[in-house]
Structure 1
């Protein structure tokens, strides 16, 4: 593993070299090749769809305005022309590790599911390292509460010093039940508490989705399968509360489409991709609820505190 960039909290980052992963799409079942390339400051995360009809390549910025579907996963781009689906696990890895600028070259319409978590993307990034860039990072600072509701489900963003996520799920199925988790997002907390949590689903739902051409690549190698009151995966769970940890992972990935690290508290109850997207829509619909702020210089940080790319930064003047 290459050495990670240190003291990156106030500066933008990219990766040290091209990192590649190959896997299958959980819905298409098709082989997909994905390459992460270093990118210049202020590029953001941009998907580059290749292999399209006529040999075209199309860039799709990973931005909330480009979201086109949130039913079973999060999709950006126009599905009739060029789109990329199931982006949330990769986006969570990039946000969780504090990476601002990357070109994601992909030759299919779906990010490979790998093992159903962010672990493979974290490992690929670790192989090439994270590089600090000479441009200050901008943060999306939450100025006042924003809340959205969808039946019994709700989500909100609130002012908070730092980047914190609190997620609660509540399933009638006894295998899952009621679970809650709260995490202050740093690269360390993402690696240790979130990145390895796998997606999950019910066999009864899978049986309905397969005839519709969905979940063609789903297996016990890339998801936790629940049938009635038992888990089918022979290895069991990675965490006692792996289900809510994965919902937290999804929320981090979906909210990364805000375009900048969020300084604030995100809370949700019975949330999902749709509710995460609705939260961003509501936030950006109210220009008094947020500000884009640039990190300011600060005194040298003791060595023991380095490497926490998402800690609460010092701020200077707001930028447009």
Structure 2
């Protein structure tokens, strides 16, 4: 069944790029609402934007959402990753600033806050986007690929940095709330010391610090506490991918593989998938009763509406 929050979650902090403080409030929402942002302003009426392929405005250094009037909220990938990773279908996200707070650079604070209030099941079956054929996007040596996969959602992410402290790393797992909490949520965003001045002069990374970003220098990791795990870099890339793939509007039944990917590539794969109606169908999970067990069977067809509906 679909799920939503059992209570209200509130978090406050600065944005990693703009450095502006914002208040983030996650609230329960009714079945079939999906994930919706409500951006409030000091001098104008609040504006609402649903998370969908059509709401994406930019994906360069972060995932940015908006509407035809312009950008509404940026750096949404960590909160979307937390909601998707925990299997939450419906939520209203109120925010009073231009950027989602970076917090400690990971999704762990959001997951902890959600776990503190819990989730509830709703009287509506969860719908899925079932991938029917391979969809692949390439950018030079980088690629992202969705393939058919009947056992839920599998994530396979590989990175390759020409740096002694990162190198080539790979993360692969069938995603579940337990796996997301344990393996991905604690992984923090990272950046390179050599890029800091260039990014800040371009208006980015103004809220970045060692409290919310793993900083990689030529001689090693600058954070006094070091890494949370040896392959924290690829785990964070996987965390970002979960959030970016949530832009499909519904959970995926698919196997997602990427090599040297990022926000832009993740979104381009979703965009390519939803542009091809022969590549997917919308299904729900029906509970099949047997004499000795009950299990979820995927594949009951639903009308092929676009996922955002």
Bin the TM-score by the shorter chain. over 0.9
Which residue of structure 1 lines up, in the alignment, with residue 303 of structure 2? Answer: 319
Say whether 1:119 aligns with 2:108.
yes
Which residue of structure 1 lines up, in the alignment, with residue 11 of structure 2? Answer: 21
Which residue of structure 1 lines up, in the alignment, with residue 143 of structure 2? Answer: 154
Task: Give the Cα–Cα distance (whole angstroms) in 2 for the partners of residues 86 and 102 of structure 1.
Answer: 17
Say whether 1:280 aligns with 2:270.
yes
Give the one of 92, 106, 113 matched to 2:95: 106
Which residue of structure 2 lines up, in the alignment, with residue 243 of structure 1? Answer: 233
Give the one of 27, 36, 45 matched to 1:37: 27
Task: Give the Cα–Cα distance (whole angstroms) in 2 for the partners of residues 314 and 140 of structure 1.
Answer: 11
* Structure 1 residue 213 displacement after superposition: 2.2
* Structure 1 residue 316 displacement after superposition: 2.1
Assess, with a 3 A threshold, how the Cα gap between structure 1 residues 167 and 269 changes in structure 2: closer, same or farther: same
The C-alpha deviation readout for 1:225-259, integer Å capped at 9, x for no partner, is: 00113000010111110000000000000001101
Task: Give the Cα–Cα distance (whole angstroms) in 1 for the partners of residues 261 and 145 of structure 2.
Answer: 10
The C-alpha deviation readout for 1:72-118, integer Å capped at 9, x for no partner, is: 10001049644110000000000000000000000011000000110
Which residue of structure 2 lines up, in the alignment, with residue 87 of structure 1? Answer: 76
Contact 1:209 1:215 in 2 (8 A): yes
Task: Give the Cα–Cα distance (whole angstroms) in 2 for the partners of residues 79 and 219 of structure 1.
Answer: 33
Say whether 1:60 aligns with 2:42.
no
Contact 1:294 1:319 in 2 (8 A): no
Task: Give the Cα–Cα distance (whole angstroms) in 2 for the partners of residues 127 and 301 of structure 1.
Answer: 37
Which residue of structure 2 lines up, in the alignment, with residue 195 of structure 1? Answer: 185
Contact 2:57 2:71 in 1 (8 A): no
Contact 1:173 1:229 in 2 (8 A): no
Relative to the length of structure 1, the TM-score reads 0.91
Contact 1:143 1:289 in 2 (8 A): yes
Which residue of structure 2 lines up, in the alignment, with residue 50 of structure 1? Answer: 40
Which residue of structure 1 lines up, in the alignment, with residue 250 of structure 2? Answer: 260
Task: Give the Cα–Cα distance (whole angstroms) in 1 for the partners of residues 165 and 27 of structure 2.
Answer: 40
Contact 1:144 1:290 in 2 (8 A): yes
Assess, with a 3 A threshold, how the Cα gap between structure 1 residues 302 and 16 changes in structure 2: closer, same or farther: farther
Assess, with a 3 A threshold, how the Cα gap between structure 1 residues 300 and 48 changes in structure 2: closer, same or farther: farther
Give the one of 199, 217, 220 matched to 1:230: 220
Which residue of structure 2 lines up, in the alignment, with residue 174 of structure 1? Answer: 164
Which residue of structure 1 lines up, in the alignment, with residue 307 of structure 2? Answer: none
Task: Give the Cα–Cα distance (whole angstroms) in 2 for the partners of residues 77 and 59 of structure 1.
Answer: 9
Assess, with a 3 A threshold, how the Cα gap between structure 1 residues 136 and 170 changes in structure 2: closer, same or farther: same
* Structure 1 residue 30 displacement after superposition: 1.2
Contact 2:286 2:296 in 1 (8 A): no
- How many residue pairs get aligned? The number is 303
Task: Give the Cα–Cα distance (whole angstroms) in 1 for the partners of residues 296 and 233 of structure 2.
Answer: 28
Q: Which runs of 5+ in 2 are unaligned?
A: 305-309
Which residue of structure 1 lines up, in the alignment, with residue 2 of structure 2? Answer: 12
* Structure 1 residue 302 displacement after superposition: 9.7
Task: Give the Cα–Cα distance (whole angstroms) in 1 for the partners of residues 67 and 86 of structure 2.
Answer: 28
Q: What's the C-alpha RMSD, in Å, of the aligned pairs?
A: 1.9
* Structure 1 residue 281 displacement after superposition: 1.1
* Structure 1 residue 52 displacement after superposition: 4.9
Say whether 1:206 aligns with 2:196.
yes
Task: Give the Cα–Cα distance (whole angstroms) in 2 for the partners of residues 289 and 52 of structure 1.
Answer: 43
Assess, with a 3 A threshold, how the Cα gap between structure 1 residues 147 and 110 changes in structure 2: closer, same or farther: same
Assess, with a 3 A threshold, how the Cα gap between structure 1 residues 166 and 69 changes in structure 2: closer, same or farther: same
Relative to the length of structure 2, the TM-score reads 0.94
